[in-house]
Amino acid sequence: MPLLYLLIFSLTVMGLVFWLPRYRLQRAIRAPFPGNYSRILRRNIPAYARMPAHLQLQLKRLIKQFLHEKKFIGCDGFRMNDEVRMTIAGKACMLLLNRPARVFPDLKLVLVYPSAFIAPRTELGVGGIVTHANQTLSGESWSDGRVILAWDHVQQKGEDAIDGHNVVLHEFAHQLDSETGSTNGAPLLMSKARYQRWSAVMMREYQKLQQAAAYQLESVLDYYGATNPAEFFAVATETFFEKSWPMAELHPELFAELSEYYRVDPREWH
């Protein structure tokens, strides 16, 4: 009998281990969306007010899950508050609309600095020479479950900015990219044929941007996207959401690929 009791106790504990997190998540998702949260969204994410009602509801649900699952940490003396959490969560979750309910499953921490932060870099040069340097960054995405952001850049690069930059969209596009296990500009897609089409379109557009950067030609995409395929995907994502009309006109194949992947058309919000 003691063995039977022990088995029942063990099964009960295991059941609680699996059930309790799901219960807490569902409770968080069912909780009312605070009015001050909606005001923050309208103030800091102008596209939100122009979204249809069903997308607004989706975004709110995704935000509640994001806030429940991810931990925010202020760095270098930065004090966290609802506006910071809501603004970052809202912009990040725009990438997840109309998609399966995976809310950046590998992400655990969002670290926020008050302004651009310094990150150490080690580079291996010709002849095996190792050089050490510091790089000033406004954001960074890590495959170990961290995203790092500078709050002043999160604030100043809004959806109506003419330069099309959005550090939150950029870094969280990297998070989507890394879900395959490799950050290479090809996120999780539905089929082999989809990967083939994605690769062909992205490579053509990447090479066009490299040429534009080399000759300083006018481009709707930021030259930083010419760095490598991973940065191209992140920059293209920023442009897709921030400058959707120019991208659709000047890069229709790229716009179509991203529209199919993100399952939205941001032109409807601009």
pLDDT score, position 64 = 96
Contact 74, 80 (CB under 8 A): yes
pLDDT score, position 28 = 74
Rounded CA-CA distance 227/233 in Å is 11
Measured CA to CA in angstroms, residue 72 lies from 86, 106, 215, 236 at distances of 11, 15, 41, 27
Strand extents, DSSP E, 98-248: 109-113, 117-124, 130-137, 139-142, 146-150
Q: How far is CA 65 from the centre of its chain?
A: 15
Q: Which residues of the chain have pLDDT under 70?
A: 1-20, 101, 120-134, 157-163
pLDDT score, position 118 = 74
Domain boundaries 184-270, corresponding CATH code: 3.40.390.10
pLDDT score, position 154 = 95
Contact 164, 250 (CB under 8 A): no
In the chain, domain spans = 184-270
Q: How far is CA 148 from the centre of its chain?
A: 11
All residues at 6 or more sequence positions from 248 whose CB lies less than 8 Å from its CB, including other chains: 255, 267
Residue type, 81: N
Rounded CA-CA distance 96/107 in Å is 14
Helices 229-242, 252-262: inter-axial angle, 10-degree rounding: 90
Whole-model pTM?
Answer: 0.88
Element (H, E) at 72: strand 71-74
